[in-house]
Structure 1
Amino acid sequence: MDKGLYLYNTLTRKKEVFEPLSSPNVGMYVCGPTVYSDVHLGNCRTFISFDLIFRYLKYSGYKVRYVRNITDAGHLEGDRDEGDDKFAKRAKLEQLEPMEIVQKYTLGFHDVLRMFNTLPPSIEPTATGHITEQIEMIKVIMDNGYAYEVDGTIYFDVEKYSKNYNYTILTNRNLEDMLANTRELGGQDDKRGRLDFALWIKAKPETIMRWPSPWGVGFPGWHIECSAMSAKYLGDEFDIHGGGMDLAATHHTNEIAQSEACSRKQPAKYWMHTNMLTVNGTRMSKSAGNGFLPGELFTGDHPLLERGFSPMTVKFFMLQAHYRSTLDFSNEALDASEKGFRRLMNALSLLGKLSPSTESDFEIGPLVNNCSKAMNDDFNSPVVIAELFEAARIINIIYDGKGKISAIELDKLKKLMNDFVFEIFGLKDEETSNVELNSVLDLVIDIRKAAKENKDYATSDRIRLGLQSMGIQLKDSKDGTTWTKA
C-alpha cells in the first residue's frame, strides 16, 4: 500500500493524506442512481470516476468494501418533500407496477455500466430492502431530540440540530443566509423550521409504495436511506463517501445531519465529489435539451451529435479530465479522444510483437513513477494518460526499428501498460477484442503473404489498398505483417 496517496476532501476543502480508519480495510459509499428512468451521462461520469478510485485502491493493496445504493423508494419530485413520488408517476405513465419500473431501469443501469467496463460494487443495497433499518434510525433520531412528528410525518429539526452541530460543514454555507433565502412557511406546511426535511412521509390514499411504521403507513424520505445503509454495511464511521457535486448542498448535507443526530459521529472521514458535465460550454441538462443518454451518445441519435462514439471512446474522454474538473462535451473533443484512444490501442497491439535487445535506448522506470505519482495525487488520470502516450511513442519507435529495448525494460513497459490501461483505467480494445474480425484479418494477411511469395504483387497491393480504404493499416516487418486501425 502506498502511504503517499492524497485525495481532495470536500469536508475540509483541501488535499489530505489518505489514512483509512482501519488499514488495510477501506469502506467506501457512493450514492447510486434513482431508478425511475434511464441513467443519464452525469451519473455515468460519477460511477466511472469512482470505479477508477475503487480499482486504484485495490491495486494499491487495500481491501475495499464498495457500497453503492439503488434508490427505489422515497424520492419525491422536489428536495423539499413536495410533488409526486417519481416511481409511482413513472409506473402510471408506463402502466406498470412500481417494482417493474425499478427492475427495468436497474437492469438498464447495470447494462450501461457493463458497456463502460466498470467493476460491480461489493454491495448494492436498495432502499426498499432496508425499510426496517430506516425506521430504526428515525426512532433513535427522535429519541435524541432531533426530529418530531406531525400527523404521521416525521421531520428533522435542522435548527435544533444546528445548536450542537455544524449543519453546513460540507458546503460552508451561512445558515442565516440559507434561512433568509428559504420561503416563509405557509399555513399548509407542517414543518416547524424552514430548512426541516422529512425522514418519514405519511402516505396519501393513492400512494402505491407504502409501509407500516410506528407513525402510521408511509414511506421513507430520500435522505434517510443512505444514512441507514451506510451505517449497516460500513459502520457509524467509515472512510470515503462520494457522489456528484449536485448532491453536496442538500442530500449529503442532510445525510451528515441524520447520521450525527443518530450516532453522534461524523459518518465519513473523506467526502469526494465529481464535477458537472457541460455541452459546448453550457451546463448539460434535460430541460436545456442538451442532455445525452449513454445510448444516444453510442448511436449518435441526438441533434447535437454528428455521429456515434463507442463506450470506450466516451470512457477515455472522461478519464482525460480530472474527476473534479468540469467536462465539456463537443463533437470535436470526442473526435480527438477517439483518435487518442485508437493511438493507444494500436501501440498496445504492437507491444506484444516487440523483441528485446541486449541494449536499451529507453528507461521505463521514470514513466512508471510518473504514473504512480499522478494517481497518488488525487487520482490525476489526465497526467497518467499523457505518460501513457509517451509510452506509446516509445513502442512505435522500437517497432519501426529506430530504437532498442532490453528484456528488463520491455517487461517494465508491458507491466506499465497492462496495469494502468486495463487494470486501473478499466479500458479495453473494442476492435482487436473482436475475435471474428481478428480471424478474418489473419486469413486475409495469409492470402496476401501467399500472393507476395508467388510474386503476385497486383493481388498483394489490391488487398493492402482495399483494407486501407476500410480503415485497416497493414505493417510489414521482418517478423511478419500486423494490422492496426487507421
Structure 2
Amino acid sequence: MELYKQQKIKIYNSLSNQKEDFVSLNEGYIGMYVCGPTVYSNVHLGNVRTFMSFDLVYRYFKHLGYKIRYVRNITDAGHLENDADVGEDRIAKKARLEEIEPMEVVQRYTVDFHNVLRKFNLLPPNIEPTATGHIIEQIEIIKSIIDNGLAYEVNGSVYFDVLKYNEKEHYGILSGRNIEDAIHNTRVLDGQSEKRNPQDFALWKKAQPEHIMRWPSPWSDGFPGWHLECTAMSTKYLGEQFDIHGGGMDLKFPHHECEIAQAQAHNNVTPVKYWMHGNMLILNGKKMAKSTGNYILPEEIITGNNSILSKPFPATVARFFMLQAHYRSILDFSNDALVASEKGYYRLMNAVNLLDNIQESKSSSIDISNWIQSCYDAMNDDFNSPILIANLFEGVKTINLLVEKKETLSSDDLKTFKATFNTFIFDVLGLENVTSTDSSEKLSNVVELLIDMRNEARINKDWALSDQIRDQLADAGVQLKDGKDGTTFSI
C-alpha cells in the first residue's frame, strides 16, 4: 500500500479558516501552485521563508508517494509599484535606474533567486513558467472574461468588473472582505478615473509611450495585469481546478482574491481546493524593511557580512531555525534565536553521526512504532514542523540510550529507526549535515580541555568547580559521562 493511503492529512484552508481533511482531486496526484518572486531585486529572507514552507509541503507529499506537480512562477513583467494598476513597472524602473535592459534585470535577479534557494536546499519546482512567456494565454483569458460580460475595455485598457461579478459570486470570499466596505473606504486616486468603479482591477494596461515592456493585443500595445499572470500559468499547467495554491499572507488580498475572481469568471469553476498562506518573518521584533535598515539578506547570514549577527551561520542552520516555527506563525529572527537553533541543529547532527555506529541486538527493549507515528502525526497536522522537530529530539534521547547500552533494538527495528530518523531530517525537513571536520575538531578540543580542568578539580577535591563545569556544559547541550575508562561526552 502506498504510504499516503496510511496517513490522514489535515490542512488549514484559508478559504474556510479552519483545518480540513486533505483529499486530492485525483487520488495519488497533487497539483500545487505557489506565487513566485517578482525579479527586480535580491530575494529577501521573508521570501525564502515562504518558499521554504512550501518546499516542506512538497517534500512531505513526495515522501508519502504522491505524484505531485509543483508550479512556481517568475513574474518578469506587469507588477507595478505598490501592487497597483497605476505607476511604473518594478522591473522597468530598476532597468531605468541602472541604465540596463529590463531583461538584464530579470536575468540577474532570477539567477540570484535560484542561487539563494539552492544554498538553503530548496528543491526546484517541476515547472517554473514566466509571465512574459504566457502573454498569449493571458490575452485569451481576457477575451473569455469580456465575452462573459465581466470585463470591459476603455482607452485600450481592460478592467475586471468587480461589482458585476459580485452580483452572483462573492468578491472577498478568501480575505473575508465585503464589497460594500471596500466601496466606503476607497480613496480616489489619479489614473483611476477610466475605471467604472475604483475596486475594478486591470487585466490589461495600455502602455504609455515611455513604457518599454509591451506586447500587441486586440485592445492596445500594452502589458497584462499582475493578478492575471498567475491565473494563466496555474490553470495552464494544473487545470481549471487544482489542489493547493500557496503564497505569503500578504498576497491574500488583493492578489489571490483577484485570482479567484478571474478564474471563476473565465472557467465558471472555483479554481483551488485548498488555499495555504505562510506568515511573515520579523527582525528583532520589528517588521523587516529596507527603508528603516531593519533587514538582512539571506547571503549575509552565510557570509556574516552584516551588523545584526555575531558570526556567520550555515544556510542549513538558518533553515532549521525557520522550520522550528509553524509556517502560519509570525517568526522573529534574531541573533540569540539563531545561536540557540545552531546548538539544537548540531545536537541533531551529532545524533545522526552516532546512529551509524550503534550495534544491533537480538531483541528490542523499546517499542519504536509510537515514536515513528508521532513524526507522521506532526506532519499530518498541517505540516507542523516544530512538533516534528520536538519528536526528533525524543529520538535523540533514544539514540543516547542506545549508545549507553541502556536500551536495545533488534536488527529490523534499528534499520527502521535509522531510516525514519534520517528520512525526516534530510528528506522531509531538507536539512544538510554540514558538521565539518574542522569545526568538530575545534569543538572536541574545547570540550576535552574542560574535561581536563574538571578532572584536575576533582583531584583537588574542588567539587564545586567540577559540578559547575559539568552543569554548564550540560546547559550548552554537551553531556559528560564518567566511566571506568575516563570521561566521555556527547552532544
TM beyond 0.5? yes
SS at match of 1:199: strand
What is the CA–CA distance in structure 1 between the aligned matches of 2:191 and 2:414, rounded to whole Å?
74
Flag the 1:164–1:188 CA change in 2: closer, same or farther, 3 A. closer
Contact 1:362 1:409 in 2 (8 A): no
SS at match of 2:117: helix
Partner of 1:161: 165
CA offset digits 1:168-191 (Å, max 9, x no partner)? 000111321111111136586211
SS in 2 for 1:379: coil
1:348 paired to 2:348: no
Amino acid in structure 2 at the alignment position of 1:224:
L
Q: Is the 8 A contact 2:192 2:198 kept in 1?
A: no
3-state SS of 1:371 partner: helix
Runs of 4+ in 1 over 4 A off after TM superposition: 185-188, 475-478, 483-486
TM norm structure 2: 0.87
Distance, in Å, in 2 between the alignment partners of 1:358 and 1:167 is: 64
Name the CA shift for 1:428/1:156 in 2 (closer, same or farther; >3 Å). same
**1:182 matched to which residue of 2?**
186
Measured after TM superposition, the shift of residue 165 of structure 1 is: 0.6
RMSD: 2.5
* Corresponding residue for residue 297 of structure 1: 301
Distance in 2 of aligned mates of 1:109 and 1:188: 34
Deviations 1:89-142 (CA, angstroms, capped at 9, x unpaired):
111222221111111111110111111111110100000000000011011011
Contact 1:365 1:412 in 2 (8 A): no
| 2:198 is aligned with 1:200 | no
- Kindly provide the CA deviation profile for residues 138-171 of structure 1, in whole angstroms up to 9, marking residues without a partner as x: 1101111111111111111111111111000001
Kept in 1, the 8 Å contact 2:248–2:280? The answer is yes
1:359 equivalenced with 2:372 (yes/no) = no
TM-score by length of 1: 0.88
Deviations 1:225-244 (A, max 9, x none): 00001111011111000000
3-state SS, counterpart of residue 149 of structure 2:
coil
Match of 1:308 among 296, 312, 318: 312
Which consecutive unaligned segments of at least 5 residues does structure 1 have?
446-470
Q: State yes or no: 1:99 paired with 2:103.
A: yes
Assess, with a 3 A threshold, how the Cα gap between structure 1 residues 477 and 213 changes in structure 2: closer, same or farther: farther
136, 149, 170: which one aligns with 2:174 = 170
Q: Quick check: 1:61 aligned with 2:65?
A: yes
| Alpha carbons 2:241, 2:271 under 8 Å: kept | yes
Once the two structures are TM-superposed, the CA of residue 70 in structure 1 deviates from its matched residue by 0.3
Bigger mean CA deviation after superposition, 397-406 or 50-59: 397-406
Give the secondary structure class of the aligned counterpart of 2:78. Answer: coil
Of stretches 27-36 and 73-82 in structure 1, the one that deviates more from structure 2 is 73-82
Distance in 1, Cα, partners of 2:191 & 2:266: 30
Which residue in the other structure is 2:470 paired with? none
Q: Does 1:399 align with 2:403?
A: yes
CA contact (8 A) 1:81 1:198 kept: yes
Task: Indicate the SS of the match to 2:82.
Answer: coil
Q: Which moved more, 1:183-192 or 1:6-15?
A: 183-192
Instruction: Pick closer, same or farther for the CA change 1:18–1:395 going to 2, 3 Å.
Output: same
Change in CA separation of 1:268 and 1:88 when aligned onto 2, cut-off 3 Å? same
- Which of 367, 391, 401 is residue 387 of structure 1 equivalent to? 391
Report if the CA contact (8 A) 1:69-1:226 is conserved.
yes
d(CA) in 1 for partners of 2:40, 2:22: 35
Match of 2:376 among 353, 362, 372: 372
CA drift at 1:477: 13
* Match 1:11 to one of 10, 15, 21: 15
Question: What does 1:190-269 align with in structure 2 at a 5 Å threshold?
Answer: 190-269=194-273
SS in 2 for 1:180: helix
Aligned residues: 452
Which residue of structure 1 lines up, in the alignment, with residue 332 of structure 2? 328
Counterpart of 1:181 in structure 2: which amino acid? Answer: N
1:359/1:404 contact within 8 Å kept: yes
- Report the counterpart of residue 54 of structure 2 in structure 1: 50
Gaps of 5+ in 2: 446-475
Q: Give, in whole Å, the separation in 2 of the partners of 1:321 and 1:185.
A: 40
The alpha carbon displacement at 1:409 in A equals 2.2
Deviation at 1:69, TM superposition (A): 0.3
User: Structure 1 stretch 147-156 or stretch 280-289: which is displaced more?
Assistant: 280-289
1:78: Cα distance to partner? 2.2
Aligned to 2:230, the other structure's residue is in SS state helix
Determine whether 1:82 maps to 2:82. Answer: no
